[in-house]
Structure 1
């Protein structure tokens, strides 16, 4: 028998969400972003599941790309942070990695490279986020420099990244779109602006290439309900089981620091999951936990390996009963909001200790 804590990964849901991204932007090609171990879901398995559907995949760096190549994933892979050294360019050439270029040093490395095969490059503009990308006229100069290199493919994708597209009422996204369009040195060049939020809520940001990431895993990045996000299907279901039941008299406390005290005679269920398994330690008492299909509140601090839940009001609970922490019935975004963070963090920080079960 194994410890019951598991992350069930529904690859059909992943494929469904990718298809939704394509349906929402039928004039674009959608590159599947599987960086950070596919947002905690397992890059190899997710890459293989999407390889037959997506024209290309995207990761943050060459180490993530090489993991996919070593596992037999053969689609082109875009390195979103580009090369970190000149030596990585020859590796990119060998393995058909596409390179996002964000600064002049990277462009110069490309210019100096001795390549036998043409490189596919994307060029990133800083349209207002001020994190990566060329500013002002430097964007056009870098584009012209790359266009003159015989070992760079003629079609260079011009890209940028949104700072606040998840905030549907924030006008800064429209400003970034306008800034970017003013910066474009070649109106015939393909463009890429849309992340998941752009795909879902900002139709005028759809370009020839979109970059859906978080939405692929079945969760909306948007700060409010949106009809385009309603069909998303959660890919990860974090589950465990009840491993103990305690009768706690009124006035007694539960867990580390005695932070939760029973206001009545209570029934407390102990569940085999904790921050060592990826459940956030900062989850406050009252955070919803699904036991036997019924919602019950977290009671006391999250431990490394266990949590305690007040099941007084949900009827008979016994050892071995199933528990869902997030997934199909408990939204990871809701748990994240209660913890003062975002669903992205909870998913990507899922440790290797928690086995992923694929179906």
Structure 2
């Protein structure tokens, strides 16, 4: 028998989540963000669930080519643009849309021999200070692009640093409005958080990512609980061993959990080599046999311990949900001091994947 851990992909949840996004932004195009191998879900496995989107947004050329070779004929956006001038030949061949955030990229486009004019997403640094042109550069750069034969449509693109918290988007939005006030171009600004909570940012296109997979951009499930979004991945395993602790017994590497009572614990076939966070502390939630309980001690490479006090019926073979449709991945990530993004995208290749339509 194989090791009992498995990841279940709920394809109906992906379709459901996209439909909710389209209702939240009814008058705009949707780029389904599928970077990082579709946030760990497997691009090749799930892309057809997002065929109702107007396009796919990603980083990796190989993933863009995968989509083309799989039969997708719609739009594909390279969120970080291209990395070498020679990449423009691939962009031209596969009819990709590219972000442009640096002067060298503009020069490369000007000098390239291309069969088709490019659609360019011109990146504005509105305050996040990652990629993009400074606000005072935006107008002259846009004017330069307008004059290039190799450039067709230009869309202004930016990214919000605080769309998921109390600071919100207004400060950056003011920068964007000021920088683009003399530019006649559509705008693509909204990430997942802005798509849900800041409709004034929707522009001609939105770029939802994490919400398509049923997790929260804020890291708190309660923030999206009423939208009807559903978890697209469940990480499940089973109890493979049971121990009974006495007072003072310790659990796991470093003995970081000390029992203060007689206590029954279960050992689950899941560890950090499967993508579970090693830094998850005692008390991280887990579902055992349908009952919410907690982890104990430090997860090891292949196993972790769980408290069976609340589920005395549990035995070897009892089902365990590490995260999924009962236990939001955001709850696990919050306990571990990270985000659902990281846990989903860190699913290890050794974990078998089961497709549930």
TM-score in terms of structure 1 length: 0.95
Partner residue of 2:86? 87
Match of 1:219 among 212, 215, 218: 215
Q: Which has the higher strand share?
A: 2
Q: Deviations over 1:258-303 (max 9, x none)?
A: 1112211111111100000011001111111101100122111101
Is 1:350 matched with 2:353?
A: no
Listed as ranges, the gaps of 5+ residues in structure 1 are none
TM-aligned CA distance change 1:315 to 1:228, over 3 Å:
closer
Give the CA RMSD over aligned residues. Answer: 1.6
CA distance in 2, matches of 1:63, 1:147: 29
Q: Deviations over 1:52-104 (max 9, x none)?
A: x0111010132332233344433321000001011111101111111000111
Listed as ranges, the gaps of 5+ residues in structure 2 are none
CA distance in 2, matches of 1:203, 1:54: 18
Secondary structure of the 1:193 match is: strand
CA distance in 1, matches of 2:57, 2:98: 10
Q: Deviations over 1:303-323 (max 9, x none)?
A: 100011110231211111110
8 Å contact from structure 2 (residues 263, 309) kept in 1? yes
8 Å contact from structure 1 (residues 200, 228) kept in 2? no
Q: Deviations over 1:215-261 (max 9, x none)?
A: 10001213664468531111111100111112222222221111112
Partner residue of 2:7? 7
CA distance in 2, matches of 1:352, 1:250: 39
Match of 1:194 among 187, 190, 207: 190
Match of 2:237 among 236, 240, 243: 240
Which aligned segments of 4 or more residues in structure 1 are displaced greater than 4 angstroms?
Answer: 223-229
TM-score in terms of structure 2 length: 0.95
Partner residue of 2:329? 332
TM-aligned CA distance change 1:229 to 1:138, over 3 Å:
farther
Partner residue of 1:209? 205
Further displaced range: 282-291 or 225-234: 225-234
Secondary structure of the 2:280 match is: coil
1:187 CA displacement: 4.6
8 Å contact from structure 1 (residues 124, 133) kept in 2? yes
Is 1:160 matched with 2:181?
A: no
Further displaced range: 132-141 or 33-42: 132-141
Secondary structure of the 1:263 match is: coil
Partner residue of 2:167? 170
1:330 CA displacement: 1.1
8 Å contact from structure 2 (residues 219, 333) kept in 1? no
CA distance in 1, matches of 2:3, 2:71: 31
| Equivalent runs, 1:26-175 vs 2, <5 Å | 26-51=26-51, 53-153=52-152, 155-167=153-165, 169-171=166-168, 173-175=169-171
Q: Deviations over 1:117-174 (max 9, x none)?
A: 1211110111111111111232111211111122221x2111100011110x214x20
